[in-house]
Amino acid sequence: MAVSYFNEMFDGGRVRAPYARLEDWVAAMPPEFRTMKQEEAEALFRRIGITFAVYGEGGDPDRLIPFDMFPRVFTQSEWRRLEKGIKQRARALNAFLVDVYGRGEIVKAGRIPQHLVYGNEAYEKAVAGFTPPKGVYSHIVGIDIVRTGPDDFYVLEDNCRTPSGVSYMLENREIMMRMFPTLFRENRIEPIDSYSEVLRRTLASVAPKKCDHEPTVVILTPGHFNSAYYEHSFLADLMGVELVEAIDLFVEAGFVWMRTTEGPRKVDVIYRRIDDAFLDPLCFRPDSMLGVPGLMDVYRSGGVTIASAPGAGVADDKAVYTFVPEMVRFYLGEEPILQNVPTWQCGRSEDLKYVLDHLPELVVKEVHGSGGYGMLVGPKASKEQIEAFRDKLASDPAGYIAQPTLALSTTPTFVEEGVAPRHVDLRPYCLVGEQIELVPGGLTRVALTEGSLVVNSSQGGGVKDTWVLAE
């Protein structure tokens, strides 16, 4: 089956406007120079220490995520539309969270099935009835977007808990500017380096009511063995805040404190990069040694803010995803700017029937899966793989959703033989506090294997610098 893919640089043989200057740039680049620059980039990444540490899997514990030097470019008007759509979606998701942990109007109105919300594993009964400061649950919303045509953007999934990868967005830009300063003089590219300042401001703006001074913000990491540890320390450094582990924190007299060389110091806002289950053993996992005992009591009494708020995960479930356009209409009274990918809920018998009849054309995903694992890409799968999924679907239909195989857009990418189109997606990071802000850019992930539609770094994906051109 021949599918034509939208190429973001070449459209019908012509170079699209945002890429105009890049044509000369790549044409004038001799292969040796390119190899040299590629090696320089790798050396820089390794030297700065931006590695994706994967422990316990063998191989190099300091693996690099492949970096592709060919930038991905958006025009100002393309970006404005995306920005509006992303902010709209982030607002709706937060309104949904406030609602389902409060009065539950959307459920009462019958706009989303009750069991999908209250029966959801990610629904935290422990925070029902509590509204976090400024009504924000998800402070950093990562929305994965794919493109299929000049004006066709689809949201693939929402990440309301702790989306990662923003350090790559920032470092990719840093390294591109260092290696190709001329490109940045010739193209007028919107800067993104305010991200850390906006993040700090966002976190400070949701300090708890009991905080009557300049709030002390910290980042809570699972520790240096975590694969995203570099990102945690990078963000802490950029914001000038402490990077703490659970053992550095304790609860006393209704507040959270960190252990410092000068004695205890009060903590007001915790940007956590750990799962709900590991926040507080007293509340979530009595068997766990991890976490800060008593943290949730302080949280519920307004002594500390946790970002994202415990329970935010119920909004980014793949089954709840189907209802996000409904949330936009219900809470904001607006039409969604960004489209959802049509999705079949295998838990519904009529949907399941359709999916089973069309497996070779569809993408099937686990409702709770991530990282591109446990996924069937029908058109690329063997007969055996398809049959294996047929069995999985039969035994646990509600555990799966299915979507049409999208014709993901491509952008030119440096490959061994020169430059070739490769499929990409986009993850912008929307910051929600007193204000709602978005720096002009995001993380573009690219499937480096020819024909592959899977962009996850754990499965051969790379990253690119993402430009938004100024007016």
Partner 1 sequence: MLSRTAENLFWMGRYMERAEMTARLLDVGSRITLLPSSAGQGFRDDWDSLLQASGTAEGFRAKYGETVQRNIESYLFFDRDNPSSVASCIERARENGRIVRTALTSQVWDALNTAFQELRQLEKTERGKLELSRLTEWTTRHTSMLRGAIAATKLRDDGYHFLGLGSHIERADNTARLLDVKYYVLLPKADYVGSGLDTHQWMTLLRALSAQRAFHWAYGGEITAAKVVHFLILNRRMPRSLYTSLTGAHENLSALAEEYDRRTPAQTRAATLMQDFSQLTVEEVFDEGLHEFLTRFVGEMAGLASLVQDQYLSGEAR
Q: Using CB under 8 A as the criterion, which residues of the chain lie in contact with partner 1 when the complex forms?
A: 47-49, 224, 230, 233-234, 236-237, 242-245, 247-248, 258-264
In the complex with partner 1, which residue's Cβ is closer, 119 or 240? 240
> Whole-number minimum distance, CB 60 to partner 1, in Å?
10
* Residues contacting residue 94 through CB under 8 Å, at least 6 positions apart: 135, 136, 137, 138, 432
Q: CB–CB of 467/20 below 8 Å?
A: no
- Strand 269-272 and strand 305-307: the pairing is parallel
In the complex with partner 1, which residue's Cβ is closer, 61 or 135? 61
Tokens representing 245 are: 């582990």
Peptide bond into 452 cis (omega under 30): no
> Whole-number minimum distance, CB 264 to partner 1, in Å?
7
In the complex with partner 1, which residue's Cβ is closer, 41 or 246? 246
> Whole-number minimum distance, CB 429 to partner 1, in Å?
20
In the complex with partner 1, which residue's Cβ is closer, 170 or 367? 170
In the complex with partner 1, which residue's Cβ is closer, 74 or 229? 229
- Determine the Cα–Cα distance for residues 471 and 468; give it in Å rounded to an integer: 9
Tokens representing 334 are: 């607006």
> Whole-number minimum distance, CB 266 to partner 1, in Å?
14
> Whole-number minimum distance, CB 304 to partner 1, in Å?
17
> Whole-number minimum distance, CB 234 to partner 1, in Å?
8
> Whole-number minimum distance, CB 243 to partner 1, in Å?
7
> Whole-number minimum distance, CB 63 to partner 1, in Å?
14
CA angle 249, 168, 231 (to 5 degrees): 15
- Determine the Cα–Cα distance for residues 193 and 241; give it in Å rounded to an integer: 17
Name which of 405, 428, 394, 415 is nearest 462 in CA terms.
415
Q: Which stretches of 240-294 are DSSP H helices?
A: none
- Strand 362-366 and strand 375-377: the pairing is antiparallel
> Whole-number minimum distance, CB 239 to partner 1, in Å?
10
Name which of 456, 429, 455, 426 is nearest 146 in CA terms.
426
In the complex with partner 1, which residue's Cβ is closer, 226 or 370? 226
Which CA distances in Å does 44 have to 41, 165, 262, 381? 5, 18, 36, 37
Burial of residue 337 (number of CB atoms within 10 Å: 0-12, 13-18, 19+): middle
In the complex with partner 1, which residue's Cβ is closer, 233 or 339? 233
> Whole-number minimum distance, CB 176 to partner 1, in Å?
19
φ, ψ at 432 (rounded to 5°): -120, 115
In the complex with partner 1, which residue's Cβ is closer, 261 or 382? 261
In the complex with partner 1, which residue's Cβ is closer, 234 or 323? 234
Name which of 79, 20, 186 is nearest 10 in CA terms.
20
Distance between alpha carbon 233 and the CA centroid of its chain, in Å? 18
- Determine the Cα–Cα distance for residues 370 and 132; give it in Å rounded to an integer: 27
Specify the residue for token string 């043989």.
Answer: 13
In the complex with partner 1, which residue's Cβ is closer, 30 or 263? 263
Q: CB–CB of 18/11 below 8 Å?
A: no
> Whole-number minimum distance, CB 65 to partner 1, in Å?
18
Q: CB–CB of 296/126 below 8 Å?
A: yes
In the complex with partner 1, which residue's Cβ is closer, 262 or 287? 262
DSSP 362-420: EEEEETT--TT-SEEEGGG--HHHHHHHHHHHHH-GGGEEEEE-----EEEEEETTEEE
